Amino acid sequence: MIKRTIYIGNPTYLKLKDRQLVIEGVDGIQKGTVAIEDMALLVLDHYQITLSTQLMNQLQSNCVAIVTCDSHHLPFGITLPLYGHTEHSERVKYQLEASEPLKKQLWKQTIVQKIKNQEALLRLYNRVSEPMETYWSHTKSGDTTNTEAKAAQHYWKNLFPEFQRHRFGDGPNNLLNFGYAILRSIVARALVSSGLLPVFGIFHKNKYNPYCLADDVMEPYRPFVDKMVVNYVTNYTGSEALTKETKAYLLGIATQDVWIDGVQRPLMVAVTTTTASLYKCYTGELRSIKYPELD
């Protein structure tokens, strides 16, 4: 069963009753309930939302990621359980003992698939995609020649007209940022479920970043967010405002169908396939991470 993403954007009191998330308005009237076991993400987008400690404990015991948003209504923080797998300490041991050559090979695989997915997206919208094959086919171990950045320069220039990709730039940067933040939460949750620590990356090593591994693993999934943003801007409203309707649309990234390991699966399920395969790469059972292919 596909886990659900729940978005709360109004003043609300959230509590637990009979293993259900109970949603109450400020007037004390119950607005609805959701089974905890059906949830994957809980997105909180208002400063006047209150959660009971009992509810938080139940959410964490079911590995539900709690995402809080800032004053710009962009995801700002993620709350995850300390561990989400019965073999947590053993799995972390393999993760921490991974050799540098292995991590460099895993990063090469990650970048190659990211660029391939970017190439597929450009081709889907009849954009210039030919140079992308040169970039992914010449990616070296550890991406020492920085083909990721070279490919990105071509990709963004052709995906959107007169667009510059910046974290705090003009739209549709805001839509991309929101989608990526939700994607990051999905990946971090899957890593914890697979018994891995999101803080220890295969490439990212920023000492201020607690989600280095999530930022690594999400790279080939980014083009799926890009696809949703392109579709929204060009086919729906033409608007680049981050409205509640836009956020509701982008939260659907979790249920987007993707091809992975020869099977079509919802993105949230595919991410767990990816993180499970990463663990097997650490143990030596596999030599390649299983990543999705954008068709």
Domain boundaries, the chain: 4-79, 88-293
> Strand order in 39-44's β-sheet?
4-8, 39-44, 65-69, 75-79
- From the CB of residue 228, how many other CB atoms can be counted at a distance below 10 Å? 18
What pLDDT shows up at residue 1?
Answer: 62
What pLDDT shows up at residue 89?
Answer: 84
Tokens of 144: 């020492």
Q: How far apart are alpha carbons 250 and 229 in whole angstroms?
A: 8
Residue-wise pLDDT tens digits, 159-203: 988 888 877 777 789 999 999 999 999 999 999 999 999 999 999
Its CATH architecture, for the domain 4-79, is Ribosomal Protein L15; Chain: K; domain 2 (3.100)
Fold of the domain spanning 88-293: Four Helix Bundle (Hemerythrin (Met), subunit A) (1.20.120)
What pLDDT shows up at residue 33?
Answer: 95
The helix/strand/coil state of 67 is strand
Residue-wise pLDDT tens digits, 115-125: 999 999 999 99
Residue-wise pLDDT tens digits, 7-48: 999 999 999 999 999 999 988 899 999 999 999 999 999 999
What pLDDT shows up at residue 233?
Answer: 87
Is the pTM higher than 0.75? The answer reads: yes
